[in-house]
Amino acid sequence: MEIDFFNVCVIRNVRTSLLKNLFTLDLSEEMFQKFKDYFMLLRPINVGMIIAMTVTGIWFGDPNQGLTQIFLNYTSAIIVAVTYTGIAMVHNDVLDMEIDLINQPQRALPSGRVSKKGAYIYMGSLFIVGTFFGNVLSVPSRIIMFSTLILSLLYNWKLKKGGFIGNLVVGFTATSAFIYGDAVAAGWTHFWPWSEWNASIYLFLISSLLNTGREVCKGIMDVEGDSQFHVQTIAVIYGKKAAARLVLSLILLAVVFSIVPVVTNVFGPVFILGVLSTLGLMLINGIPLLKNPNYETAKKFKDLLHPIMLFALLLVVIDIIFKRFLYLY
């Protein structure tokens, strides 16, 4: 039997090449999955919201910055906001690993795709990156962001089971990017006296009330599990009806408070349109929640709040453009 050594060599080379390609493909897929797992720990939707609030806060604080200052402030402020928010998100997932093994076993940490040690190294890396870029920002903005991080970690560790106190902390930390961005651009200028309050301060206060209401609403959804784990939410202590009334009260308080920046000439007609739209949508979806506070009505109401807030933020930006740059009113 004759052996074609040339063909044998070709076959061996092809086989070796295929094995290398398969190994490279497996390695690439593994690296992509690892990158995806670590990225998802940051909660991309939350990151998007934080970036939007930070950018608008800086713009409201000082829209007339030079190009160099714009690049420095916006880039550094976004990196700090994303990394510090990410630390809180990862920390929360580490503490909730046992619960997630039951409720969310497909997530990166409970599934084992990301180890607890890896999560802590990730948190440390985020802190180093955020702190490095934070050094070029104003002292007031660093104070706000660091305070927000500390409160977020305290919430994950202890305050989550504190009921309404925890809701208030989330209301603050979830929207503090507005005042953080403003402090990046203008320091404490717009914080005191109250006559100096600008769009950033009002949006922070209004959004804090809305987010606190959203957290109380989540307590209606999770009342059975919270009762089992002794989480002292309004729904657990006083019942779902009382929690639903508090949710609507906080939303209405936010809407009523929205009148103040209109009276003080911070916002104009487009903002009023946004407030009226928000009030209408809240009432339409709030009535079913009041009548029958359960998982379905609470979830529908909770899921509606963030899109409404984004819509309202867009209207605020349009309002400021009309007022400050186009001089339409």
**Regarding predicted confidence, which is higher, 104 or 46?**
46
The set of residues, in sequence order, having a beta carbon less than 8 Å from that of 183 and lying 6+ positions away, is 57, 61, 138, 140, 141, 143, 144, 191
Q: Which of 9-18, 29-38, 154-163, 306-315 has the highest mean pLDDT?
A: 154-163
Distance CA 64, CA 48 (A): 24
Structural domains of the chain sorted by starting position, each given as residue range(s) with its CATH number in brackets: 16-187 (1.10.357.140), 192-329 (1.20.120.1780)
pLDDT digits (tens, 9 = 90+) for 186-244: 999 999 998 899 999 999 999 999 899 999 998 998 887 778 777 788 999 999 999 99
**Regarding predicted confidence, which is higher, 15 or 286?**
286
The set of residues, in sequence order, having a beta carbon less than 8 Å from that of 174 and lying 6+ positions away, is 49, 207, 208, 211
Confidence of residue 329 (pLDDT cuts 50, 70, 90): low
Kindly tell me if the per-residue pLDDT of 13 is higher than 70. no
Burial of 128 per CB tally in 10 Å (0-12, 13-18, 19+): exposed
Range from 15-24, 64-73, 118-127, 143-152 carrying the lowest mean pLDDT: 15-24
Dihedral of the CA atoms 243, 246, 248, 252 (nearest 10)?
A: -170
Q: Are 261 and 202 in contact (CB under 8 A)?
A: yes
